[in-house]
Amino acid sequence: MAAKTNWYKEAVVYQIYPLSFMDSNNDGMGDICGIISKLDYIKELGATAIWFSPLYASPWKDYGYDISDYKAIHPAFGTMEDFDELIRECHARGLRVMMDAVFNHTSNEHAWFKAALADKTSPYRDYYIIRKGKKDKEGKLIPPTNWTSSFTGPAWERIEGTDEYYLHLFAPEQPDLNWENPKVREEMAGILRFWLEKGVDGFRFDVFNMISKVYPFKDDKNPLHFQKGVQYYVDGPRMHEFLKELNDKALSLYDTYTVGESYTPDEEHAYRYINEESGELDTIFHFEHLAADNIFGLKMIPKPFNLRQFKRGLIDTQLRYHGSGWNTLVLENHDQARCVSRFGIKKKYRYEAATFLAMITYLGWGTPFIYQGQEIGMTNTDFKSRGEMKDPVTHFIFDLAKGLHVPDSVSFRMMKGAARDNARTPMQWDASVNAGFNKGAEPWQCVNPDYKKINVSADLASDKSIYRFYQKLLALRKSEDTLIYGNTIEYYPDDRQVITYSRCYGDKRFLIVGNFSGVRADFIMPSDFELDELSIRMTNLGRSDAEIAEVLHLEPYEAILFEENR
């Protein structure tokens, strides 16, 4: 046990999706030994912590987010001894270890759920949310409410042979836990302590703000709600109480860092979740900027990229929470398509866009999160068929579209660019078979066919190495307190091409400028900066100090970091 510090404020977190990172035993699935073999690569990038998507025992109906044993490692990844070695090897390199805490639901193959269904008198029955169905006007048994799942379809599954249903806000194989039961909360705190005792340094809480529901349950009668029931299970009435309890019983006893993944909370709840005095979470993810190329955050329904929306999402949280909590800076994760394949970016600008996005995002206020492959500019995959896409959500949406009589060709085209599968193809290490992910066994998920050109080996050998750019950027950020702790001030929020903000700390200032478009843009230097006091600290396209002017003609996806010298 150790007193809590703020190490996470100066951290850079690298996310690994274990199934797709590195396959050491050539069985088609990534594993812990494969991860260990690449730790130096992550360390040299400039990361200081690794977040592992679930490594737990699971039937993989949602690839690890359906957990059947919270205190066991999935055999495909290795053994608990392998995990202990992973912690030792990470810590030996100064890398913190973060795990996923998936506490809203378990797998339907968890021993608790099996016991709950096997015996109505079992104490585990109350670990889940089970209710009797009701009758419709024709006398037919229907679910207790009209809520819908995040994975499409009803949020209730009938228990075979009974008139009862269990709640699942995700897949039917992911029954929701009943957090009203104090025994469930004690189980969760105990699970956290188990991993913390092993040396784990922090957790990403999966869909954390859904664990508290509104009782008694009601139908959602709002005809405008695409997903029925959200007002009854997002930011519920006991959310803050439950988080404080986890903190008191587990997290506060160790030097931990927590980040919550959520349905977008309202501002009041978000403030309370991350307020440093609240004793709840250290940070939450903010994804509003990643909805700037789709409708209402529904990634499969694209729209023309809106830079002003992107800027609001990226910068507003930096302005809103500075001084009261801490922020996160995100471009990709296992649920998002590849950033260089989004936002209207054309393939010919892959290097420019990858480095531009890194600069405008990770020079902001908050902890950077980098997803595997992002640092070499991995792209979306040109899937050829539905069979190449493994994510259950992808197939749920295909089935939904078919039920709405959307032609298969149309739904497939929509999903190709938005599917979570794009982030889950094997890591591209080199130009050998299967991109060096393994020695030739068929990977669980198809390899992106562009791997012969886009891979770690090719990138490191290139004059335009995205990895080397990330290295330089992260080292710069680490060397300057202003780029970590400084206030953010935005300029020209309504500009449709250029993103501009400054970071200020004490008597030092930096100005970040970028052209978020595929055509040249004119940029006028803000009036509170003097030209003769500016120098270029970093740029992705090689601009020099001699070119500093009141009006700059920015090339497509050009980004510049100016330092004020007074």
Catalytic sites, residue numbers: 206, 261
CA distance 325 to 282: 7
Burial per residue of 186-205, b for 16 or more beta-carbon CB atoms within 10 angstroms, e otherwise: eebbebbbebbeebbbbbbb
The H or E element spanning position 484 is: helix 482-485
Structure-token match 């193959």, residue found = 109
Residue whose C-alpha is closest to residue 393's, from 265, 303, 298: 298
Do residues 522 and 553 touch, judged by C-beta distance below 8 A?
yes
Query: Cβ neighbours of residue 48 under 8 Å, at least 6 residues apart?
Result: 10, 11, 12, 13, 94, 95, 96
- List residues bridging with 141 in a β-sheet: 135
475 and 493 in contact (C-beta within 8 Å)?
Answer: no
Secondary structure string (H, E, C) spanning 482-507: HHHHCEEEEECCCCCCEEEEEEEECC
* Residue 408 DSSP SS3: helix
Picking from 335, 242, 340, the residue whose alpha carbon sits closest to that of residue 285 is: 335
- Between β-strands 202-205 and 96-101, what pairing exists: parallel, antiparallel or unpaired? parallel
Q: Which two tokens stand for residue 111?
A: 């021993």
Structure tokens of 535?
Answer: 């120098």
Omega before 172 within 30 of 0, i.e. cis: no
Q: How far is CA 410 from the centre of its chain?
A: 27
The DSSP-derived string for 256-282 is -EEEE--S---HHHHHHHH-TTTSS-S
DSSP 288-330: GGGGTTEETTEEEEE----HHHHHHHHHHHHHHHTTTS--EEE
Q: Take residue 55 and report the two structure tokens written for it.
A: 């490594």
Euclidean distance between CA atoms 3 and 7, whole angstroms: 11
Task: Please check whether residue 250 is in contact with residue 193, taking contact to mean a CB–CB distance below 8 angstroms.
Answer: yes
Do the beta carbons of residue 366 and residue 483 sit within 8 Å?
no
Q: Which residues pair with 510 in a beta bridge?
A: 503, 563
What secondary structure letter does DSSP report for 227?
S
